[in-house]
Structure 1
Amino acid sequence: MSIFRIVFLASFVFAVLFDGVLAFKCIDPNNTFFRTLLQENPAHIRPPKLDDSQKVKYSNDFTCDYIPPSAEPPTSVHKLRPGDIKLVAALGDSLTAGNGAAALTIYGVKNNYRGLSFSVGGEYDEVLNHNNKVSEHFSIPNALKFYNPDVKGWAVGIANPGDLNSHLDEAVAGSKAVNLTAQAKQLVEDLKADPDYDFENDWKLVTILIGGNNLCQYCVDERSDPEIFTADVQAVLDYLLETMPRTFVNLLTLFNIDQVSALGQENYVCQKAHECFCYCALLDDSYSKITLQSYNGLYRTNLWSLVQSNRYEVRDDFTVVIQPFLENTTPPYKDDNTTPDLSYFAPDCFHFSQKGHNYAGNGLWNNMFQKCGHKDTKWSLGERLFCPTEESPYLFTHKNSYE
């Protein structure tokens, strides 16, 4: 038996003893093994809602005043109030699927806790009404329920792609930009197939976050090239423009992957998880570091250029707005300002925990009600809440930001 195999087996045995499963080094450069594990179905047919032991309550001061929907459904996306939105949906990867959000161990990272997803989860619907706050978990659907309790499409509980509880959360763990168009086609199919959805007339909010897997595998996948990445995102936006009536698209730009990949490096489980699914971001030579940072920046720059080209401003009932609250967000630190606060992350020190999703939901909400050109590019604890008002009731678009 070769020395390599002996070392590998020893590492595997140690990892299993340390945490039970998953915390070992992937030797497959495409990380197929880990991605397959992440997408395995839980051993039940209908994924459950989170039980009380999995729910972490926060005290979110949702102080927005209630404003009613438009007297008549608007025909322009530039006159869209939060209460006018009837359907919420999302495309993306494991961050949008909620991987590990309520996990207590590394093994739980395989679960898609979609009910906690900041952009499309609606787990805490039971606490919301016109007289209550988004008190337990801040997500976009939970905030929208304050204005329209009948908003649909949000995910609940633990659910895999295509499961009943996923609803319109089409995100698939391990996805890259090239996979988004397939997700968008599934979204259109689901919208047309469900009699509870009015595809032609319901106003839809679709949130897209992608690029983490492209960057994590930039050194082994040519599709991670910034120009190819941008073309893949353009393809899905073009498809949505062509097929989706009455749609507001939130396009999120990505955080700095190199910062997140460095989290938890004193934690053996996190080290091995990062080596497994974000190997390229851990390369320590100068060329690799510069390449990663360059790609990360070009992903953002290219998406800004794509949207600012007005390519998606050709119909009055469709728009794409970049929401940049993650761009300059850095991992929070504890009171000593030197130790990363890993409570914002799942047990793999990479995906968002429930707490992380809670604050990401707040950040996205604020971006939606900040004018284009004046949007926050990071979120921080204790930041003030931006709200629609009777004087300024609409989600901001490029057009109505400058009227």
Structure 2
Amino acid sequence: VPITIYCSPCFSVYIVRQKTSFRFVALPVQNFFPCVILRVEDYSDVPTFLYSSVSKIYLIAVFPFSCLQSCLATKTLGGVLRCDPEVMKPSAKTPDDVNQVRPADINVIAAMGDSITASFINYDDDPYNVYPGNSYVIGGDETLEKHISVANILRVFNPSIVGMSHGTGYDNTVFNVAVSGRTSMDIPRQAEELIHRMKARGVRLRDDWKLISIFIGTNDLGELRCYSKEVREIYKTKLEEGISLLRSNLNRTIVSIVSMWNPELTIDARSLIEEGWAFFYFTCFMSKIRFHFVAYELQNERRFDHKDFTVVVQGFMDDIKDAFRNKSGEYDKSFYASDVFHLSKYGNAVVGKFLWNNLIEPVDQKTTKADLGNDDFPIKCPSKVCLYVFYTPCLK
């Protein structure tokens, strides 16, 4: 009798036993175990066979461990924002100065980048899908109490904020123009696409304050390219081209660049967790460092700075040099999607919380080693002393 392994990531399976005239529906796979071994007598046409009253199917084993990550992917992290009502208010008059922008003044949120920002496979182990509604920066499928994202936090300050991405796939990404698999070469195109979408949706390009997040570079660090000195210059050039397009077309804009994470956190996570050593760290570490410096160069050169436009780096994971560990100090795969590289829904929520906390810290006082594994770490409120900070330090 042949045996086949049938892995179904996210739909119910009908189990038919003709001899006993017994039919039942298995639990939805995303809530149970996605991989089961089915013993079959005829599986020449599996789709027909699964619903056939002729064939016999015997569920003989379930292997939860091998597919546990798919079940963990539904885990997330919600939060609450308990701030003084005074810091929650928008400015009495829309500010002209980028250094006087309160969180409630932000009317538009947007994002550019690769599969990390597009939220690739973060929900149910579908190897071909993205879940932008869960994105750490711009996801808006749920409330803050159910899932943390920068967008969900800003929505508490300003319920009218626009740009949040929703659902599955690329059909309702709104102002999330990140695309899986892309490198920095795609940033100028993404900038053009974002400007086009904003115009098409009636954003007041000159009047609305916009927060645009960029995270790119993971695919630039592919193993075949990590030794190339030219890649670093291409990376910087393409970021400059993209930001220049934004600067030429958008007023009242804060461009927030999330600096490249150390390879151990994502690229080397699987080898660290399963093998105890980091392969990519040794082969491409210097390339990552060069990319890391590019983000700070773009900030510190202040080439793009204007009264109503700026570039700021969020380096809250600059000094994290290990795979994700939970509060107990143990490696924890729940932070990752099934490939132990991309972020799970929970991982997106964790990153979203600490990205927000970094955003409202003065530029010379930003956290560089977020306590990612501490779920109890609070979502920060803007300081009463320094209500306006998104970029420059507050002067006391």
Instruction: Give the TM-score normalised by structure 2.
Output: 0.75
SS at match of 2:270: coil
**Once the two structures are superposed, what CA deviation does each residue of 1:277-307 show, in whole Å capped at 9, x if it has no partner?**
xxxx98x5xxx85451101111111221221
Number of aligned positions between the proteins:
325
1:184 corresponds to which residue? 191
**Once the two structures are superposed, what CA deviation does each residue of 1:193-214 show, in whole Å capped at 9, x if it has no partner?**
113x222211111000001111
Amino acid at match of 1:350: F
Does the 8 Å CA contact 2:227/2:284 hold for their aligned counterparts?
no
The 3 A distance-change label for structure 1 pair 221 and 232 is farther
1:143 corresponds to which residue? 153
Q: Which structure exhibits the higher relative contact order, with contacts defined as CA atoms closer than 8 Å and separated by 6 or more residues?
A: 1
Does the 8 Å CA contact 2:73/2:334 hold for their aligned counterparts?
no
Does the 8 Å CA contact 2:79/2:148 hold for their aligned counterparts?
yes
Task: Give the alignment partner of residue 173 of structure 2, picking from 166, 178, 189.
Answer: 166
1:48 corresponds to which residue? none
2:314 corresponds to which residue? 323
Give the stretch that moved more between structures: 55-64 or 228-237: 55-64
Amino acid at match of 1:393: L
2:142 corresponds to which residue? 124
Q: CA deviation at 1:218?
A: 4.6
Q: CA deviation at 1:219?
A: 3.0
Does residue 383 (structure 1) correspond to residue 377 (structure 2)? The answer is: yes
Q: Distance in 2 between matches of 1:266 and 1:357?
A: 20
The 3 A distance-change label for structure 1 pair 332 and 201 is same
Does the 8 Å CA contact 1:78/1:395 hold for their aligned counterparts?
yes
The 3 A distance-change label for structure 1 pair 388 and 146 is same
User: Whose radius of gyration is greater, 1 or 2?
Assistant: 2
Q: Unpaired runs of 5+ in structure 2?
A: 10-71
Q: Cα RMSD (Å) of the superposition?
A: 2.9
Amino acid at match of 1:155: S
Q: CA deviation at 1:62?
A: 2.5
SS at match of 1:370: coil
Matches within 5 A, 1:91-110: 91-103=112-124, 105=125, 108-110=126-128
Does the 8 Å CA contact 2:225/2:231 hold for their aligned counterparts?
no
SS at match of 1:257: coil
**Once the two structures are superposed, what CA deviation does each residue of 1:247-274 show, in whole Å capped at 9, x if it has no partner?**
011111011124523333499xx99xxx
Task: Give the alignment partner of residue 297 of structure 2, picking from 305, 319, 344.
Answer: 305
Q: CA deviation at 1:336?
A: 6.7
Q: Distance in 2 between matches of 1:240 and 1:351?
A: 28
1:343 corresponds to which residue? 334
Q: CA deviation at 1:189?
A: 0.6
SS at match of 1:173: coil
Instruction: Give the TM-score normalised by structure 1.
Output: 0.73
Q: Unpaired runs of 5+ in structure 1?
A: 1-15, 22-52, 126-133, 272-280
Q: CA deviation at 1:372?
A: 0.9
User: What is the aligned-residue identity percentage?
Assistant: 27
The 3 A distance-change label for structure 1 pair 246 and 347 is same
Q: CA deviation at 1:111?
A: 1.4
Does the 8 Å CA contact 2:165/2:174 hold for their aligned counterparts?
yes
Q: CA deviation at 1:54?
A: 8.2
Does the 8 Å CA contact 2:133/2:167 hold for their aligned counterparts?
yes
